[in-house]
Amino acid sequence: MEKETVSKIKKKKSVLTKLYKNLPTDRLTLAKDLIERAAYMMVKLEEMEEIIDRDGLMMKMDQGKYDIDRAHPLLASYTTMVKSYNSTIKQLNEFLPPTDAAVAGQALMTFATKPRVQTRTK
């Protein structure tokens, strides 16, 4: 895995760990694996989004004398990972008391939906 990807995962993991830091010790032990997986999925989803945004939702596929449009090959993987990510976050929120879950959910949505700074590499 690239150093940049590992660094992004560590940052996401740090944010998630702070959101769930008040869990009882026994639940925090269980939550650590879910936090690691959620951080990984967040970074990979962002990477897939960048590729899909760059290439478009539809791609031309050569069929001999003609071309056909087909969905981007990453869309199926992206959709599956979004479902897994949502399930993982739901599991994490179930560890929290109801009031903490609402606060963590709102903080996570703010973090996940904040605009990203676009950087260009040449």
Q: Write down the pLDDT at residue 29.
A: 86
Residue 62 phi/psi, 5-degree rounding, is -70, 130
What is the chain's pLDDT, residue by residue, as a tens digit (122 residues)? 899 999 999 999 999 999 888 888 888 888 999 999 999 999 999 999 999 999 999 988 888 888 889 999 999 999 999 999 999 999 998 888 777 666 667 777 776 676 665 554 54
Domain ranges of the chain: 3-113
The closest alpha carbon to 42, from 19, 72, 71, 15, belongs to: 15
Q: Write down the pLDDT at residue 55.
A: 92
Q: Write down the pLDDT at residue 122.
A: 42
